[in-house]
A and B are shown apart, each in its own frame.
Chain A
């Protein structure tokens, strides 16, 4: 089975954030970037399904030059090939513009299944996978915690998370776009051998016209959502911060919990 996995590179959740000079995004200098959490789980799921069916995984990412590092990591983990939508024209899109570009790249890959993460940890649209499915005209499922292939790969039994602690099990006809939630599996670590092999694996960088994409349909030019500014949440309504060394702060907190909040 041929499987594509869409991975986005996002700031590490541990990163200390500063705003960019134009106030529309964070200053990316000194920020560590990692594979989006749910995408790492999607990749692992793709690798397992490929191993089970004797297939291969192609990883696809849209983003600037730094994204090569994330793709190399995915190749080291076992993906066979990578596609990097690196051209400037692809960048700065909203979910719809990004999905248009990704779908065009995916359409060339002749895959039976596309896996994405459920949500990016930076933009947090939760929409790109469904929009790719819309572009390809395939069924989709969001927030997936289990995938089992049926009918020799013609359909999949998919476990979807619902609110209130329930999972729903549905059957989807393949090809489909499955949007994987964190926790579906336990992602593997890259082996030294894998890291060495990754160096020789191909990363394609198709230009928009090679994918039949008009410049106005993708990237910032194709986006209907425009970010005007970003900001830290307003201070003020926040917590009373208790200062001091650990012992002092701990004693003060206990006193406040006893006398002020009266919860101890």
Chain B
């Protein structure tokens, strides 16, 4: 029987979210692999232009719930909009972009429609007729292969970067109304504020030295600051460094911090969790210094040194001095 794949699109500032396009690429690939068709669904208020944008992909349909109750995202709004159609149509797969918004409501929706949930997948393969999903565990140090048991709809959310957006095939989809949508907003939205104080703009730096929990404490920053000075670099940090107040929040790099793409990024004592990588993997050249040879940061770095950063950092400053750069 033809399998049905539904892709839930997220949008921001009147356009499809970058990760929605990645979800389209994933959903199309999945439909092809399981022998099925892919459609998309779009929720919001006044989203006609975004639906047109989505209709430019090779999809069977773009199904839209355009409703003032969906003007602001709330989990109740989104679950109410999607659950009735999912319950009556029972698609085989629903593909979400793994964004903060999706994570906030997909589990709740899965509960509501009794779907299995495979969060943050990085890939899939049909092995001996069994669909096997790959997802990271332990902060990306390992990956796991999982399968879903039992009948019913399977939800997957796709990790940022796992299914490149340029893999999404263009085409022409019909636009239709999502039936039975009954959004029931369950949060009063009181406002939106900036997370960190205005401060350094790390995106302007051509070299960034990123420090992680592995530096051990704020008292260890001295030699790292010397190195940064020698390089003319700004210092950025992983989240735990900020959470522990070793450096101020405006220096955080990653999914909840700044996104940087300097020509050189030096990662010191950073393991390389995806939430950090999304904030710096566009860098021209990544150098990782970590005492753990299997740290995931090495898989996106061009050069690596395995060892104690407290020994390597001063040596590096000295080597730069000698090289006169």
Q: Which A residues are within 8 Å of any B CB, using their own CB?
A: 11, 13, 16-17, 26, 37, 41, 95-96, 121-128, 130-131, 133-135, 139-143, 145, 157, 159-163, 165-172, 182-183, 186, 223-233, 237-242, 246-247, 249-251, 253-258, 261, 263-264
Q: Is the CB of B195 within 8 A of A166?
A: yes
Given contacts A126-B103, A169-B192, contact A134 B108 (CB under 8 A): yes
Q: Is the CB of A143 within 8 A of B104?
A: yes
Q: Is the CB of A241 within 8 A of B305?
A: yes
Given contacts A13-B271, A127-B119, A170-B187, contact A263 B303 (CB under 8 A): no
Is B298 in contact with chain A by the CB < 8 A criterion? Answer: yes
Partner of A171, one of B76, B188, B293, B318: B188
Q: Is the CB of A253 within 8 A of B111?
A: no
Enumerate chain A residues within 8 angstroms of B284, measured Cβ to Cβ: 261, 263
Q: Is the CB of A239 within 8 A of B107?
A: no
CA distance A141 to B256 in the complex (A): 17
Is B52 in contact with chain A by the CB < 8 A criterion? Answer: no
Q: Is the CB of B318 within 8 A of A250?
A: yes
Is B292 in contact with chain A by the CB < 8 A criterion? Answer: yes
Q: Is the CB of B287 within 8 A of A253?
A: yes
CB interface residues, B 220-256, toward A, < 8 Å: 231, 239-240, 242-243, 245, 255-256
Enumerate chain A residues within 8 angstroms of B287, measured Cβ to Cβ: 253, 257
Q: Is the CB of B193 within 8 A of A169?
A: yes
Given contacts A227-B146, A228-B147, contact A264 B325 (CB under 8 A): yes
Q: Is the CB of B137 within 8 A of A124?
A: yes
Is B169 in contact with chain A by the CB < 8 A criterion? Answer: no
Q: Which residue of the partner chain A has the closest CB to B196?
A: A165
16 contacts between A and B (CB under 8 A): A17-B141, A95-B107, A96-B110, A130-B104, A131-B108, A131-B111, A139-B187, A142-B100, A142-B103, A171-B190, A230-B142, A233-B140, A238-B301, A254-B319, A258-B325, A263-B264
Is B45 in contact with chain A by the CB < 8 A criterion? Answer: no
CA distance A83 to B182 in the complex (A): 38
Enumerate chain B residues within 8 angstroms of A133, measured Cβ to Cβ: 108
Q: Nearest Cβ in chain A — how far from B114, in angstroms?
A: 9
CA distance A41 to B231 in the complex (A): 36
Is the contact region of chain A dominated by helix, strand, or loop, or is it mixed? mixed
CA distance A260 to B277 in the complex (A): 23
Enumerate chain A residues within 8 angstroms of B110, measured Cβ to Cβ: 96, 127, 131
Is B112 in contact with chain A by the CB < 8 A criterion? Answer: yes
Is B124 in contact with chain A by the CB < 8 A criterion? Answer: no
Q: Is the CB of B188 within 8 A of A170?
A: yes
CA distance A126 to B105 in the complex (A): 11
Q: Is the CB of B104 within 8 A of A141?
A: yes
Enumerate chain A residues within 8 angstroms of B146, measured Cβ to Cβ: 225-228
Interface size class of B (residues with CB under 8 A): 35 or more
Enumerate chain B residues within 8 angstroms of A142, measured Cβ to Cβ: 100, 103-104
Enumerate chain B residues within 8 angstroms of A226, measured Cβ to Cβ: 146-149
Is B39 in contact with chain A by the CB < 8 A criterion? Answer: no
Q: Is the CB of A227 within 8 A of B103?
A: no
Partner of A163, one of B74, B137, B255, B316: B255
Partner of A134, one of B111, B149, B307, B320: B111
CA distance A240 to B286 in the complex (A): 11
CA distance A195 to B143 in the complex (A): 37
CA distance A162 to B17 in the complex (A): 14
Is B257 in contact with chain A by the CB < 8 A criterion? Answer: yes
Q: Nearest Cβ in chain A — how far from B271, in angstroms?
A: 7
Q: Is the CB of A95 within 8 A of B117?
A: yes
Enumerate chain B residues within 8 angstroms of A16, measured Cβ to Cβ: 292
Q: Which residue of the partner chain B has the closest CB to A171?
A: B188
List of 4 A-B pairs having minimum Cβ-Cβ separation, nearest first: A134-B111, A183-B243, A239-B304, A127-B107
Q: Is the CB of B311 within 8 A of A246?
A: yes
Enumerate chain B residues within 8 angstroms of A227, measured Cβ to Cβ: 144-146
Q: Which residue of the partner chain B has the closest CB to A138?
A: B186
CA distance A139 to B108 in the complex (A): 10
Partner of A17, one of B99, B142, B245: B142
CA distance A254 to B315 in the complex (A): 10
Please indicate which of the listed interface residues B143, B258, B286, B314 has the most CB atoms of chain A within 10 Å of its own CB: B143
Q: Nearest Cβ in chain A — how far from B20, in angstroms?
A: 13
Q: Which residue of the partner chain B has the closest CB to A19?
A: B142
Given contacts A169-B191, A169-B193, A254-B319, contact A238 B325 (CB under 8 A): no
Is B87 in contact with chain A by the CB < 8 A criterion? Answer: no
Q: Is the CB of B138 within 8 A of A96?
A: no
Is B132 in contact with chain A by the CB < 8 A criterion? Answer: yes
CA distance A140 to B187 in the complex (A): 9
